[in-house]
Amino acid sequence: MAADIVAACIGATAAVGVAVAGYWFTKKREREAELRKEKLEHYKDFVASLSGIISGESTPDDQRAFSRSCNKLNLIAPQSVIGALQAFQEEIKVSNSARSNQGHDKLMSRLFYEMRKDLQITPKDKDPDFIFGLWASGVPSKKPK
């Protein structure tokens, strides 16, 4: 009789343990998925704002939008993305007299690579030296009056 009670207690404890572990792992996956979704939205916002400051198409509002999206990334992005972002910002800032298209493209590509790695894009990117590019519309922006 005592053995039956012990066996029942062990069974009940195991069942509760499995249920708790299952709940915990499910919630953990849900939180990770939600964070990935939020990161994707921030990264999309960043790319949209980056598209707004392409040479010849930038306005002061576009510059402000880009600044805000960069600041948002500081909140949610891992250090590898933030480091790549800061290097890219150093390259594109107006006061950088040594700016180059090659440096711009290399640092922007590294930033995109780090963002894609953070989002766990599959299949995984194989070449961290791949050069990404953005397209400009070719339509000059209207100058503010």
Q: What is the pLDDT of residues 50-96, one digit of tens each?
A: 988 887 678 889 999 999 999 999 999 999 999 999 999 999 988 99
Kindly report the number of other CB atoms within 10 A of residue 66's CB atom. Answer: 21
For the entire predicted model, the pTM comes to 0.76
Kindly report the number of other CB atoms within 10 A of residue 103's CB atom. Answer: 16
* Residue 39 pLDDT: 94
State both tokens at 102.
């090659």
- Inter-CA distances, 112 with 10, 24, 116, 144, Å: 52, 33, 6, 31
Please check the confidence at residue 109 and state whether its pLDDT lies above 60.
yes
* Residue 140 pLDDT: 64
State both tokens at 58.
């930038």
Q: What is the mean pLDDT of the chain?
A: 87
Using the structure block, give the residue that is written with the tokens 């930038």.
58
Domain map of the chain by residue range?
A: 41-118
Stronger pLDDT, 20 or 86, i.e. the higher one: 86
Please check the confidence at residue 27 and state whether its pLDDT lies above 80.
yes
Query: Cα 93 to the chain's mean position, in Å?
Result: 21
Reported in sequence order, the residue ranges of the chain that DSSP labels E, i.e. its strands, are none
